[in-house]
Each structure stands twice: as C-alpha cells, then as structure tokens.
C-alpha cells in the first residue's frame, strides 16, 4: 500500500481512552451508527486518515471483549476530530454488536483505542474505485467523502453489494455524495436477494460477474487505486477479477470484515520449520523492552500480553491488523493473515496474534 501509506498513530499502543456517546442512530433493522465525542485533549490522539478504524473494549461478566469498527465520517483537519462516527451491524451471537444495538445509549462512555489501519487513502488527484459488501461501506464512505471534498481533480466509483435495499447501511449518506458530486461520483448498487429494480444490478457479485461488470463501468486499467472491503468471499472475488483484468496488485487495497469459514490461507514466513521447544521473544512496546519464554504452541501476542497487558490487539484472528509488529530478528510462522498487505510482509511486519517462533529467539518491535 505504498501510495496510500498512512503514518501509524504515535500515541501509546494498546491504550484505551474514554469517549462519551453523543448519538446512536438506527441505520437499518440490524445496524446503528454510534457517534462519539472527542474532547479537545484527545483530538490529536484521535486524528485519523479516511478509511481507518478504532478498537473498542467492553467488560461484561468478568470477561473483556474487543472489536474494531471503521470510522465513516470524513477525515478531520489538523485540529483533529470533534467526534467519530462508526457503523455497527448486528452479528449473530455477537456480544458487542448486540449491546450496541439493544443497550447502548447516549451519555454512556465507551473505551476506545486510537485510530489505526492502513486501508486508507490520502486525497490526491486520480480515479479511484471501491467494491464493497454490506458493512464494508463504512470505511469507504469516509474515503470517498474525504477525497471528493478535498480533491477537485479526483473521481470515485462505488460498487456496493447488499442483500436488500432495506438492509443497506448509509443509504442517505451515499445518496448525498451523489447529489453533491454528480459528475465525480459514480454509484452502482447490486442487491443479492431482491428482484432487479431500475438502475440496480441483481444477484450476487462473484468473480465472473465482476469480470464482466467492471470494464463496462469504468476504464479498469487507468484506475489509480481499488478499495475492496467486506466479507471474505466478495473481497477475494473482486481481487481475482481485478487480477484477471490485468490490474497490478499494488493498486488494490483490501480490508476483510468477516472470515466465515476460516479458510486455510496462512502465510508462512521465512520457512515454516517447527517451532523450537525453548523459544523466547523480546518485545519493544512504547520504548520499553522485555524478554520472556514462549509457552508451547502459543502465539507471540499471548506471551507478550502475559507480561505487558498494554500490548495492542483486538480480533486475535488475523483480520484487524491491530497487533502488527516489526520482526527485528529471528523467524516466525504465521497461522493466517487477512490484514497485512504484501508490501508490509516484505518490509518485515507480522501479526503477533498469528505468529509462532521458528528458532530459539525472536524479537518484535511494536513501535515501528
Ligand atoms: S489482533 Fe487482529 S490481527 Fe492480530
């Protein structure tokens, strides 16, 4: 993601800050937008690039749950944001989303980590496009609104896929983009569970359909950046379609929101030899380092967390990228990776929650 490289937030890693809920707006039957007030003292900490996300933490019945949610509002100026708005869709059995939809009220305080993530676009002239599914619209709404308002020489094409019109999040906000920039914003909606209506594409967007649809919509080869966001199946289908259409990998950015069946797509790093039985990890976090033994089979994040409870993480599933760390020395094997881009892997970054040591010593740096 070199062109859209975003500086990592420099505030303390893993630290949570209290933010008060200013509004909870119903978007659909199963989704809300939550607006959080950012006090002046935290506006620098919460300054974000369009497309970034925040991690939230909630303690209930003695257990802690963490989730990441993308910010849907446009990126703020140098003074930082007065508020953040996130979209939360109900996930079946999801503890945090159930709480957000059924209990969360104005005035409550949520614990929130500083914005992070590299699925982002710094406004610049050019033609950009996104293929999103369901709640994958959330970061792309921020990206499109920021780009169009700040860069008069930019255009954006949004292809969104939803089950039905009634389940479509941020309908009004997206319609507003079309009203404000009719010449620079192109919108295509595909509904997978509804009969075709005027101007809509019906049926699921799979690789074959996207391969036919994309060249009919825009000059695929001259698009400067593609943003794919949503469920695993849609993102992979769009990625394969783009590859088949000759789009180079460095123009494609992706963020996966759900990995349903946990496909085996681990990325072994530097040879997947068996882990040594007596490995240790040295980790640097906020300028302080420590070295600790790795217990058999555990990912490096767990070793670090046992000794440094402020280590950053959210999903522990290789999806959100919050636990990204630089591999200073040694080798690791990652179980799976749905968060790091190829250029990050090449540069030496790993997901601590998915990494196991290969060899006796590994050194990680969470500050880079
Ligand atoms: S905590 Fe989400 S990828 Fe590691």
Residue 268 binned pLDDT confidence (cut-offs 50, 70, 90): very low
- Ligand 1 nearest-atom number relative to CA 318: 3
How many other β-carbons are positioned within 10 Å of the β-carbon of residue 286? 14
DSSP secondary structure letter of residue 257: E
Statement: residue 4 has pLDDT above 80: no
Span 64-87, average pLDDT:
95
Least confident stretch, 201-205, 283-287, 315-319: 201-205
Tell whether the model's pLDDT for residue 200 goes beyond 60: no
Quick one: tokens of 133?
Answer: 């599914």
Q: Tens digit of pLDDT for each residue in 318-345?
A: 999 999 999 999 999 999 999 999 899 9
Percent of the chain with pLDDT over 90: 80
Question: Quick one: which atom of ligand 1 is closest to the CA of 301?
Answer: 4
Q: What is the dihedral sign for C-alpha 312, 314, 317, 318?
A: negative
* CB 137, CB 232: distance < 8 Å: no
How far, in Å, is the centroid of ligand 1 from the Cα of 25?
Answer: 28
Taking residue 45's Cβ as centre, other Cβ atoms within 10 Å add up to 19
More confident residue, 258 or 36: 36
pTM of the model: 0.89
Q: 109 pLDDT band (50/70/90 cuts)? A: very high
Q: Which ligand 1 atom sits nearest the alpha carbon of residue 320?
A: 2
Q: Under 8 Å CB-to-CB from 17, ≥6 apart: which residues?
A: 42, 45, 46, 111, 112, 113, 114
- Is 156 near ligand 1, meaning CB less than 6 Å away? no
**The pLDDT of residue 260 is above 80:** no
Beta carbon of 123 within 6 Å of any ligand 1 atom:
no
Residue 5 has pLDDT above 60, yes or no: no
Encoding tokens for residue 224?
């400067």
Other residues' Cβ atoms within 10 Å of the Cβ of residue 179:
8
Interstrand relation of 53-60 and 109-113 (parallel, antiparallel or unpaired)? antiparallel
Question: What is the mean pLDDT of the segment spanning 18-23?
Answer: 98
CA distance 187 to 148: 14
Residue 323 CA, closest ligand 1 atom number: 4
**Residue 233 CA to ligand 1 centre (angstroms):** 20
pLDDT, averaged across the chain: 90
Distance 201 CA to ligand 1 centre (A): 35
Which among 259, 320, 325 is the best mutation to test ligand 1's pocket, defined by most ligand atoms within 8 Å of the CB? 320
Judged against a pLDDT cut of 90, whether residue 46 lies above it is answered with yes
> In testing the pocket of ligand 1, which one of 113, 116, 317 has its CB within 8 Å of the most ligand atoms?
317
The pLDDT of residue 93:
87
Atom of ligand 1 nearest to the CA of 352: 4
**243 CA → ligand 1 middle, Å:** 27
CA of 334 to the centre of ligand 1 (A): 12
- The predicted-structure confidence for 153-165, as pLDDT tens digits, reads as follows 999 999 999 999 8
Domains of the chain in sequence order: 2-113 (2.40.30.10), 126-258 (3.40.50.80), 279-365 (3.10.20.30)
Q: Which tops the pLDDT comparison, 202 or 104?
A: 104
């Amino acid at each position: 993601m070199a062109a859209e490289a975003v500086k990592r937030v420099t505030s303390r890693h893993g630290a949570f800050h209290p933010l008060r809920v200013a509004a909870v707006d119903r978007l659909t039957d199963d989704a809300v937008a939550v607006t959080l007030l950012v006090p002046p003292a935290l506006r620098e900490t919460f300054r974000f690039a369009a497309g970034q996300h925040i991690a939230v933490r909630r303690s209930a019945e003695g257990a802690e749950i963490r989730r990441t949610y993308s910010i849907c509002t446009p990126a703020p100026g140098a003074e930082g944001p007065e508020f953040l708005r996130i979209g939360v869709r109900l996930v079946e059995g999801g503890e945090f989303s159930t709480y957000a939809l059924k209990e969360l009220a104005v005035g409550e305080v949520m614990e929130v980590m500083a914005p992070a993530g590299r699925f982002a676009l710094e406004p610049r002239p050019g033609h950009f496009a996104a293929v999103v599914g369901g709640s994958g619209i959330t970061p792309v709404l921020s990206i499109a609104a920021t780009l169009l308002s700040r860069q008069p020489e930019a255009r954006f094409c949004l292809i969104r896929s939803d089950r039905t019109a009634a389940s479509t999040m941020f309908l009004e906000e997206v319609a507003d983009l079309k009203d404000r920039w009719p010449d620079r914003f192109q919108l295509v909606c595909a509904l997978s569970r509804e009969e075709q209506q005027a101007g809509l594409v019906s049926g699921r967007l799979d690789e074959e359909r996207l391969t036919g649809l994309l060249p009919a919509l825009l000059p695929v080869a001259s698009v400067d950046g593609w943003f794919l966001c949503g469920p695993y199946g849609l993102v992979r289908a769009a990625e394969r379609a783009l590859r088949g259409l000759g789009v180079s990998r460095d123009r494609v950015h992706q963020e996966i929101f759900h990995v349903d069946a946990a496909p085996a797509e681990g990325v072994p790093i530097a040879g997947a030899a068996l882990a040594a039985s007596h490995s240790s990890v040295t980790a640097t976090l906020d300028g302080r380092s420590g070295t600790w033994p790795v217990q058999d089979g555990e990912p490096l994040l767990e070793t670090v967390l046992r000794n440094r409870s402020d280590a950053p993480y959210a999903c522990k599933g290789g999806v959100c990228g919050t636990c990204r760390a630089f591999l200073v020395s040694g080798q690791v094997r990652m179980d799976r990776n749905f968060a790091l881009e190829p250029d990050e892997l090449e540069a030496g970054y790993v997901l601590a929650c998915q990494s196991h040591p290969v060899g006796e010593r590994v050194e990680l740096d969470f500050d880079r």
